[in-house]
Amino acid sequence: MTIAVDARSAGQPSPALRAKRRRQRLTVLAFLTPWLLGVAIFFIYPLIDTVYLSFTRYDLLSPPKWIGLTNYRFMFTKDPQVVQAAYNTLWLVVILVTARVLFGLAVATLVTRLKSGLGLFRTVFYLPALVPPVAGVLAFVFLFNPATGPVNQILGALGLPQPLWFNDPSLSKPSLVMLGLWGVGDLMIIFLASLLDVPKEQYEAAALDGVNPWQRFRYVTLPNISPVLMFAAITGVIAALQYFTEAVVAASVASGQATTGGGNAALLGYPEGSTLTYAQWLYVMGFKNYYLGYASALAVVMFAVSLGVTLILLRRARSLVYGAEGTR
């Protein structure tokens, strides 16, 4: 990275001016030095080294041994658990992110319509987003526990079926989605600020044109809030790709086995691997089993996917915004 002060004037600068510029350059450098070291040590170097290690066999004891594409071949053809982990993670990327964005938008819209007590409602809807993830998972595994949990007690009292929730392979991920929806407050705050920023005149003009509520949303609200929606989608996808804490803790607590991160292979992603995520598999392979070369290959693929998704969403965002403007 080059650090230089804008060279505005052409030709030979006077010695005094040159000294001043050098001083300015040194000032900038002084402010930035810690961060530049951080970029080198915690970003550029490990990124390059990860790519290199992904072509090696490495267990921390002996030096890395070059094995070409073996790790990648194993990942794509011989590792059934990475398939399951990738499936679960993509499921969460699609369902969890979509559900959270839609629900967050719905709650924010609701708040804009509440004429009295807006501040109180906003606080109540935001509160669960503050709950530490581990505490939130514990609370939900308790609430949804099949035998004595309040949810099933209430369902039973109403004569409704009482599912196994976190203990049922087909319901464990939807249960995690419900936990994600409870903590939708962070998105709600961002959406609310954006909704309140939509110019009133645009709504008034739309009302004069006699549009219906859907048209008003589609042609007035949506174009105004789409940058914020896109921000929420991109950060949501990135977060879902590294989904770890909630899945690990839910599996461990629901199975009744203390496993900080998944020591017991049989219980990985309990029940039946339905909550095993890609980030957890990378953690287990790399830092429990010390297949560091293989973990690096998993990391490279994760990098490629997160980069790809971000670029695609950004491109879609542009067409969404321009498309809406074109129809106006």
Partner 1 sequence: MSAITATTQMSAPNRDIDTRGNRRAKRRKRLSFIADHSVGIAVAIMFLAPFVFIVFQSFMTSEQALTGDLWPQSWHPSNYVDVFTKAPMLLYLRNTLLYATLATLFMLLSSIPAAYALSRLQWKGRNIAFVVVLMMMMLPPQVTQVPIYVMWTRLHLTGTLWPMILPNLLGDAFSIFLLRQFFLTIPQEYADAARVDGCSEWQVMTKVILPMAKPGIAATAMFMFFFCWNDFYGPTLYTSENPDSWTISLGLASFRNLYQVQWNLTMAATILAMLPVLIVFFLAQKVFVEGITLTGVKG
Q: Is the peptide bond before 271 cis (omega within 30 degrees of 0)?
A: yes
Is 216 a binding residue for partner 1 by CB under 8 A? The answer is yes
Query: Toward partner 1, which CB reaches closer, 74 or 244?
Result: 244
> 275 near 253, Cβ under 8 Å?
no
25 part of the interface to partner 1, by CB under 8 A = yes
Query: In terms of CB distance, is 47 or 83 closer to partner 1?
Result: 47
Q: Which stretch binds partner 1 (CB under 8 A): 68-76, 94-102, 164-172, 281-289?
A: 281-289
Q: Is residue 6 within the footprint of partner 1 (CB under 8 A)?
A: yes
Q: How far is the CB of 288 from partner 1 (least distance, A)?
A: 9
Near partner 1 in 238-257, by CB under 8 A: 238, 241-242, 244-245, 248-249, 252-253, 256-257
CB of 168 to partner 1, least distance (A): 18
CB 51 within 8 A of CB 294: no
Stretch 42-81: interaction string toward partner 1, x if CB under 8 A: xx-xxx-xx--x------x---------------------
Q: How far is the CB of 105 from partner 1 (least distance, A)?
A: 13
For the bound state, the minimum distance from the C-beta of residue 210 to partner 1, rounded and expressed in Å, comes to 8
Rg (CA), the chain: 26
220 neighbors 206 (Cβ within 8 angstroms): yes
Does position 213 interact with partner 1 (CB under 8 A)? The reply is yes
Residue 65's φ and ψ, nearest 5 degrees, are -115, 125
32 versus 67: smaller Cβ distance to partner 1:
32
Rounded to whole angstroms, what are the CA distances from 12 to 15, 18, 21?
Answer: 9, 9, 13
Footprint (CB under 8 A) of partner 1, residues 177-196: 182, 186, 189-190, 193-194
Residue 99 and residue 92 in contact, taking contact as beta carbons nearer than 8 Å? no
C-alpha closest to that of 100 among 135, 134, 142, 129? 129
218/179 Cα distance (integer angstroms): 29
- Give whichever of 169 and 242 is closer to partner 1, judged by the CB atom: 242
The Cα 40–Cα 16 span in angstroms is 34
What token pair was written down for 108? Answer: 């924010």
Kindly report the number of other CB atoms within 10 A of residue 51's CB atom: 14
Binding mask 122-161 for partner 1 (x = CB under 8 A): xxxxxxx-xxxxxx--xxx-xx-x-xxxx-xx--------
Write out the binding residues for partner 1, residues 300-319 only, by CB under 8 A.
Answer: 300, 302-303, 306, 310
Contact between 82 and partner 1 by CB under 8 A: the answer reads no
Q: Which stretch binds partner 1 (CB under 8 A): 88-96, 121-129, 166-174, 319-327?
A: 121-129
If one asks whether residue 175 binds partner 1 (CB under 8 A), the answer comes out as: no
Q: Furthest-apart CA pair in the chain: how many Å?
A: 89
Residue 161's contacts (CB-CB under 8 Å, 6 or more residues apart) are: 155
Q: Which of the 8 DSSP states describes residue 115?
A: -
